[in-house]
Amino acid sequence: MFTLQELKRSALISLWFVFLTFPIMVVKVNSIEKTVQWRWMNVVYVLVGSFVLSLLFRYFLYRKEQQSGEDEQQGDNTGRSLIHRLLIVPKYRNMIYGVLLGTAVVFPFLTSSYQVNIMTTALMYVVLGLGLNIVVGLAGLLDLGYVAFYAVGAYSYALLNYHFGLGFWAVLPIGGLLAAMFGILLGFPVLRLRGDYLAIVTLGFGEIIRLVLENWGGFSQGPSGISNISRPGFFGIELSLEMAIVYIYYLMVLFVIVTIFLVNRLQDSRLGRAWIALREDEIACQAMGIDKIKTKLAAFSLGALWAGIIGVVFAAKTTFINPASFTFLESAIILSIVVLGGMGSIIGVIIGALVLILLPEYLRALSEFRMLAFGAILVCMMVFRPQGIIASIRRTYTYKPRNRDEA
Partner 1 sequence: MDYFIELFFSGLSRGAIYALIALGYTMVYGIIGLINFAHGEIYMIGAFTSFTVATILTILGLPLLAIIVLTGIAAVVWSASYGYTIEKIAYKPLRHAPRLSALISAIGMSMFLQNYVLLAQTSDFLPFPTLIPDFAFMEPIAHIVGSTDLVILITTTVSMIFLMVLIKYTRIGKAMRATAQDRTMAMLVGINVNRVISATFVIGSSMAAIGGLLIASHIGQINFYIGFLAGIKAFTAAVLGGIGSIPGAVLGSVVLGLTESFATGYVSSDYEDVFAFSLLVLILIFKPSGLLGKADTQKV
Partner 2 sequence: MSVKLNKKIAAVAAGFLMTVALPGAGLTADTIKIGVAGPHSGDLASYGLPTVNAAKIIADKINASGGINGKMVELLIEDTVCKPEIATNTATKLVSDGAQMILGGICSGATKAALPIYLDAGLLVISPSATNPPLTQSGDYPNFFRTIAPDDAQAQLDVDFAIETMGYTKIAVIHDKGDYGKGFAEFAKQFIEASGKAEVVLFEGVTPGQVDYSAVVQKVKQSGAETVIFGGYHPEASKIITMMKKKRLDATFISDDGVKDQTFVKVAQENAEGAYASGPKDTSNNPLAQQAVQEHKDMFGTDPGAFFENAYSAMLAMTSAAANADSTDLAALKKALQTVPVETPLGSITFDEKGDAIGVGFSVYQVQNGEWVELK
Summarize as ranges the residues that interact with partner 2 (CB under 8 A): 17, 21, 25, 30, 32, 37, 45-46, 48-50, 52-54, 112-115, 117-118, 121, 214-215, 217, 222-225, 227-228, 240-242, 245, 314, 317-322, 324-325, 361, 364-373, 376, 379-380
Which partner in partner 2, partner 1, none is near 115 (CB below 5 to 8 A by kind)?
partner 2
**Element counts in the chain: helices (H) and strands (E):** 16, 2
Which partner in partner 2, partner 1, none is near 27 (CB below 5 to 8 A by kind)?
partner 1
Which partner in partner 1, partner 2, none is near 362 (CB below 5 to 8 A by kind)?
none
Tell me the C-alpha distance between 16 and 130, whole Å.
42
Q: Min. distance of Cβ 317 from partner 1 in angstroms?
A: 25
361 close to 314: Cβ distance less than 8 angstroms: no
Q: Min. distance of Cβ 291 from partner 1 in angstroms?
A: 19
Residues 6+ apart with CB under 8 A from 312: 153, 154, 156, 157, 168, 171, 172, 175, 176
Q: Min. distance of Cβ 34 from partner 1 in angstroms?
A: 5
Which partner in partner 2, partner 1, none is near 320 (CB below 5 to 8 A by kind)?
partner 2
Q: Interior CA angle at 398 toward 397 and 404, to 5°?
A: 135
Compare residues 64 and 319 and give the one whose CB is closer to partner 1: 64
Piece in contact with partner 1 (CB under 8 A), picked from 71-79, 167-175, 202-210, 297-305: 202-210
Nearest to 152 by CA among 123, 131, 181: 181
139 close to 275: Cβ distance less than 8 angstroms: yes
38 phi, psi to nearest 5 deg: -105, 120
Residues 6+ apart with CB under 8 A from 4: none
The verdict on 358 binding partner 1 (CB under 8 A) reads no
Compare residues 141 and 256 and give the one whose CB is closer to partner 1: 141
Beta bridge partners of 63: none
Compare residues 151 and 229 and give the one whose CB is closer to partner 1: 151
132 close to 148: Cβ distance less than 8 angstroms: no
Compare residues 50 and 336 and give the one whose CB is closer to partner 2: 50
Q: Of 205, 275, 300, 326, which one interacts with partner 1 (CB under 8 A)?
A: 205
The verdict on 16 binding partner 1 (CB under 8 A) reads yes
The verdict on 23 binding partner 1 (CB under 8 A) reads yes
CA atoms within 13 A on the CB side of 26: 15
Burial profile 13-46: b = 16 or more Cβ within 10 angstroms, e = fewer: bbeebbeebeeebbeeeeeeeeeeeeeeebbeeb
149 close to 311: Cβ distance less than 8 angstroms: yes
| Interacting residue ranges for partner 1, rule: CB under 8 A | 16-17, 19-21, 23-25, 27-32, 34, 36, 42, 57, 61, 64, 136, 142, 189-190, 192-194, 196-197, 199-201, 203-205, 207-208, 211-212, 215, 282-284, 328, 332, 335-336, 339-340, 343, 368-369, 371-372, 374-379, 381-384, 386-388
